[in-house]
C-alpha cells in the first residue's frame, strides 16, 4: 500500500533562506510547478516546491540560486553565499561580478521577504564611453 506524502507547508519559523553561486540538483526538491522567464540576456527559472521555492537566475555566465525551504533535510554547503532562518529581521547584500547586485531583506514589522537583482546599466545604442 503506497504511503501518501504530507503536503502541509512548514511554518515560517521553520523556513530557511539560502543563496548559492551555482545551480542545485533538481532531485533535492519536490517541485509542484515551474516557470522559466527569459528577458534581455537573463533567464530565471522559478520552482514552487512542497516547502517553499527555488529560483535559479542566470545572466552573462553568472548563476545565483535562491532557496526558501524547511531546515530539513540539509542542503549542500558548496558555494553557499548566504544562509539564515527566514524568521527575524535582516538585510544582506552581495556584489557579484559583472556589476550584478543581489539584495535580500526581511522585516519583522512587515511579514515578507524580498530579494532584488540589480543589473549593471548598459550603454544605449549609439552612445560611446570615454
Q: Residues 120, 99: contact at Cβ < 8 Å? A: yes
Beta bridge partners of 102: 94, 117
The span from the CA of 54 to the CA of 24, in Å, is 9
The span from the CA of 109 to the CA of 121, in Å, is 33
Q: What global pTM score does this model have?
A: 0.77
Q: Residues 94, 82: contact at Cβ < 8 Å? A: yes
Interval 4-49: pLDDT, tens: 454 567 777 788 889 999 999 988 999 999 999 998 888 999 999 9
Amino acid at each position: 500500500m503506497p504511503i501518501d506524502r504530507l503536503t502541509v507547508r512548514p511554518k515560517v519559523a521553520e523556513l530557511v533562506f539560502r543563496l548559492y553561486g551555482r545551480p542545485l540538483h533538481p532531485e533535492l526538491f519536490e517541485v509542484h510547478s515551474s516557470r522559466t522567464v527569459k528577458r534581455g540576456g537573463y533567464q530565471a527559472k522559478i520552482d514552487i516546491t512542497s516547502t517553499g521555492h527555488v529560483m535559479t537566475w542566470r545572466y552573462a555566465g553568472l548563476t545565483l540560486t535562491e532557496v526558501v525551504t524547511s531546515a530539513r533535510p540539509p542542503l549542500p554547503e558548496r558555494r553557499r553565499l548566504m544562509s539564515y532562518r527566514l524568521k527575524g529581521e535582516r538585510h544582506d547584500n552581495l556584489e557579484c561580478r559583472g556589476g550584478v547586485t543581489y539584495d535580500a531583506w526581511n522585516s519583522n514589522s512587515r511579514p515578507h521577504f524580498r530579494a532584488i537583482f540589480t543589473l549593471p546599466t548598459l550603454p544605449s545604442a549609439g552612445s560611446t564611453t570615454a
